[in-house]
Amino acid sequence: MGDRMYYLKRTDYGIRVTKEHEDVYVKNGLKGYINDLCLNNFSTYDGRKKAASRLLNEKSNIPIYIDNSTFLYPTKALREYDMLFLNYYAILSFRKIDSTNTLFIFKNLEELVVQISINKVIRQHKRIEIINDYIDNLF
C-alpha cells in the first residue's frame, strides 16, 4: 500500500503529501485530495465530515476518518492557507513548545513544529478517540 501518510500541507506547487519515506506533490486542493482518499473507501469528504460532526455534536475542525491507517485532523480552519491536516495514526508523541506551538514526533522520529496549541491537539485527539470507539462498536 506504500508509505504511511504523516500530514498534508498547501504549497505553491499544490498539496504536499508527507509520507514516511518521501514527499509527494499533487495538483489538487486539500478538500479534493481528501475526498479522493474517502472515495477509495466508498465514501466522501462531506459524508465523513457530516457523520463525525453529528456524532461529536460539533461543527468546526472536524477530524476525518479515512481508513485504519489514516485519520486526519485539521490544525486550523480549511480556509486558512497555512493549515495542515495531521494523521493521528502517524503521530508517536507531541509536546507543548509555547502557548501557540506544538512539537509533533512522527513514528519515523521526524519532528515538526506546528502552530496549534497543545489544548487544541488534546481536544482533537479526544474527538478522534470518540469516533474510533464508535467505529469499533459498529463491527
Q: What is the DSSP string of 2-16?
A: -SPEEEEEEETTEEE
Classify residue 110 by burial, with Cβ atoms within 10 Å: 0-12, 13-18, 19+.
middle
Can you give the pLDDT at residue 49? Answer: 97
pTM above 0.85, yes or no: yes
Inter-residue contact 25 to 14 (CB < 8 Å): yes
Domain span at 55: 5-138
Ranges of the chain whose pLDDT falls below 70: 1-2, 139
- What are the backbone dihedrals phi and psi of residue 107, each rounded to the nearest 5 degrees, phi first? -65, -20
Question: How many domains does the chain contain in total?
Answer: 1
pLDDT digits (tens, 9 = 90+) for 85-125: 999 999 999 999 999 999 999 999 999 999 999 999 999 99
